[in-house]
Amino acid sequence: MQMPLIGNKRICSMVNSMVKNRRIPHAILIEGEEGLGKSTLSRYIAKAALCDNENPPCDECKTCHLIDVGSHPDFQVVEPDGAQIKVAQIRELRVEAFLSPMSAGGRVFVISAAHTMNDSAQNAFLKVLEEPPANVTFILLAKSASLMLETIRSRCVIFSLSPVSFDEPDAISKVMALAGVTNAEAQTLLVSTDGNIGRAVNASKNETIFLSGVASNLLALAAAKDRLGILNCLQPYVKEKNKVTELIIELKSAIAREIKKKAMKEISSFTAEKLNFCYTELTNIQSKLDFNPSIPLVFCYIAAVLTA
């Protein structure tokens, strides 16, 4: 199976060499904000540790499938009970960790949102880290390693996940596949979510967030006077007149925000005249949409206005 984590080249090669040499550390801390691939990476490592195949992880055997659906007896995910992971959950985990594994590969415990453990839960967990049972891998997922006690951090191999770059082809393909969008839309989603694949996929499901991302992207292209880029960005909506209307509304609110920024003397890539001109022209275009104009022509006009 191919490493499912996108970008993060150094981490991917470290994990792959750990897997190849069968030297998976007993405590791993994966840090990064929501959507960067913490769970994806933890499942890959769990499969690598427990897979029945000769070259793990195969992603085809029963073990790999059971890990995917979260029902392998030697793979456990601890989730917060309410807002926190409570000390009682960690005590339970400590007992479980010393039970013999059902399979040959040992056991893997993933602690999701490990940063929600309070100090007493973290201290309880520390006890099992100090004298870890054989053949057990603990994978802690946290928003930030700095939210964990230093005594825990120092006993873990830490992987810090980063966002991907907007033009990373693998990232674009992944967003296209998961969100069912076009190449240009996937790029827009990645730009508007700062290269966070998980958030990009989520944003695709929310039309308003999605279109407001497209609008910000259009403004960035306008600042760069990239007329062709603007046309490419608009292209996916050529057959969707309804979305064109919504998009123009989003674009006008993005411009209105810039006008406000200008008024507050904040930095903007545009002059006040240009912003007002764009706003007025977009309002004109918006009113003409009722007369069924040719959408490609409308797009050319928008591109001309934005780059004027």
Q: Which residues bind Zn ion (CB under 5 A)?
A: 51, 53, 58, 61, 64
Q: Which amino acid is at 240?
A: E
Q: What is the nearest approach in angstroms of Zn ion to the Cβ of residue 15?
A: 16
The length of the chain is: 308
Ranges assigned E (strand) in the chain? 27-31, 75-78, 107-111, 136-142, 157-160
Q: Residue 1 or residue 97: which is nearer to Zn ion going by CB?
A: 1
Nearest to 50 by CA among 167, 169, 139, 154: 139
> What is the DSSP secondary structure assignment for residue 99, as one 8-state letter?
S
Q: Residue 63 or residue 212: which is nearer to Zn ion going by CB?
A: 63
Distance of alpha carbon 25 from alpha carbon 2, whole angstroms: 20
Q: 103 in helix, strand or coil?
A: coil
Q: What is the nearest approach in angstroms of Zn ion to the Cβ of residue 47?
A: 6
Q: What is the nearest approach in angstroms of Zn ion to the Cβ of residue 1?
A: 8
Tokens matching residue 90: 């960690």
Q: What is the nearest approach in angstroms of Zn ion to the Cβ of residue 206?
A: 35
Q: Residue 61 or residue 147: which is nearer to Zn ion going by CB?
A: 61
Any idea which residue has 């390693």 for tokens?
145
Q: Residue 64 or residue 189: which is nearer to Zn ion going by CB?
A: 64
Q: What is the nearest approach in angstroms of Zn ion to the Cβ of residue 54?
A: 10
Q: What is the nearest approach in angstroms of Zn ion to the Cβ of residue 22?
A: 14
Q: Residue 62 or residue 205: which is nearer to Zn ion going by CB?
A: 62
DSSP 165-185: PTT-HHHHHHHHHHHT--HHH
Distance of alpha carbon 7 from alpha carbon 279, whole angstroms: 38
Q: What is the nearest approach in angstroms of Zn ion to the Cβ of residue 129?
A: 27
Asked if residues 192 and 216 have their Cβ atoms less than 8 Å apart, the reply is: yes
Q: Residue 34 or residue 60: which is nearer to Zn ion going by CB?
A: 60
Q: What is the nearest approach in angstroms of Zn ion to the Cβ of residue 107?
A: 16
Q: Residue 86 or residue 107: which is nearer to Zn ion going by CB?
A: 107
Asked if residues 44 and 161 have their Cβ atoms less than 8 Å apart, the reply is: no
The CA angle 158-162-168, to the nearest 5 degrees, is 140
Distance of alpha carbon 248 from alpha carbon 230, whole angstroms: 13
User: How many angstroms separate the Cα of 27 from the Cα of each of 88, 102, 141, 157?
Assistant: 20, 20, 11, 6
Q: Residue 1 or residue 158: which is nearer to Zn ion going by CB?
A: 1
Q: Which amino acid is at 206?
A: N
